[in-house]
A and B are shown apart, each in its own frame.
Chain A
């Protein structure tokens, strides 16, 4: 009997499907584990990680105060109740001129003495392949790369974003994508991902990060203890310790973050029109 049977008390066909899946795996040729190739690949990955770290350090050393304030991965500052990081004012886009990512803090707080923060890096849409190439190189130096972009031309006209969750000093990317700069969500659309606040407590899914239409007025996050967090549009001066729907310059969507009370977990989320 499978755990699926035990938990859900489905009819017997759950076991049959498990058997059929097991049978289907006979189609694959197992072969010999390519241990040497795995080691070579692992060493390459490790070297690349060091190279990225070195490149990031170089960018930090040579950057202006504005760039440092905008924040690079793992270098965000501020604590409880910090005011939203404002993206640097971006003027009209100049073709061929690369612009770095804007980093905006979507939410922040402190729990059990540990600071947490959710940030989004938004990379402007390159206007041509040369600019896309420069953008991708800069992304790599930041330790970011959109998974679906195989060649520079794929990025032309697309905004790339990377959402990070920092908890107790550890930063994890929880969401990334490259989308057409002209993309528009409808008023009821919502895209979200529930994740643990503390990466060490993977069963504790309390944090929800998502995007909605820029005109969406309200998002309700429901938790397993029956409570609901109402998230409304941020107004001028709304701190990042307040859950709010925030406009992020350069993003075709608005963004929100909500956090379940302790002992509760994610249940559902919806846009309230």
Chain B
């Protein structure tokens, strides 16, 4: 019994250490901020620890972790419930991305992208990050976000359209990427 618990603990430790970098990167894109990202990943892993007996033996623990993280992220934003839920429109919720030319011009694509990402409504941000950074399928993204595939498509399309509207990014894209 003790051996089994120890094995489970070691397994969890390996999971935490192994997944930490990737989770931090995802959380950073979701939150846009270092400390918020650390908090999000840590609280996600705490919840995973509580359920590790089940999660560790599941076929796809990654899916569970993603779901917990996206839920935790979404909970932070439930103040604007209409934003959180698939309401069909996001009028009044999206601030325009347009900025003074100077700032965008001098900023590199990275900061412009992060800024634009931070301005997306949470559900659009989640859809974009999961689809384009985590490279999940629409079905996997829907699972992580707890919504329909249609909602993923809609949120990802709106989010991407806004990101494409960034002047600096548009230039980069037309040149075929930065790297």
Contact call A18/B147, Cβ cutoff below 8 A: no
Chain B residues within an 8 Å CB radius of A263:
none
Contact call B78/A192, Cβ cutoff below 8 A: no
With A22-B133, A29-B34, A33-B16 already in contact, the answer to whether A17 and B75 are too (CB < 8 A) is no
B62, chain A: closest CB distance, angstroms = 13
Dominant secondary structure at the B interface: helix
With A22-B133, A203-B139 already in contact, the answer to whether A14 and B81 are too (CB < 8 A) is no
A191, chain B: closest CB distance, angstroms = 5
Contact call B86/A192, Cβ cutoff below 8 A: yes
Chain A residues within an 8 Å CB radius of B129:
21
Contact call B28/A25, Cβ cutoff below 8 A: yes
Contact call A3/B131, Cβ cutoff below 8 A: yes
Q: Which of B111-169 contact A (CB under 8 A)?
A: 113-114, 117, 128-129, 131-133, 135-139, 142-143, 146-148, 150-151, 153, 156, 160, 163-164, 169
Q: Interface size class for chain B?
A: 35 or more
Contact call A18/B42, Cβ cutoff below 8 A: no
Q: Report how far A35 CA is from B9 CA in the complex, Å.
A: 11
Q: Report how far A265 CA is from B177 CA in the complex, Å.
A: 38
Contact call B133/A266, Cβ cutoff below 8 A: no
Q: Report how far A88 CA is from B178 CA in the complex, Å.
A: 63
Chain B residues within an 8 Å CB radius of A205:
142, 147-148
Which of A38-46, A64-72, A131-139, A238-246 lies on the face that meets chain B? A38-46
Binding site for B on A (CB under 8 A): 2-4, 7-8, 10, 12-35, 37-39, 41-46, 49, 147-148, 175-177, 179, 190-195, 202-203, 205, 265-268
Other than the given A38-B46, A190-B88, 11 more pairs (CB < 8 A) read A14-B160, A17-B132, A20-B177, A28-B34, A30-B25, A38-B49, A41-B42, A41-B49, A42-B46, A177-B81, A194-B86
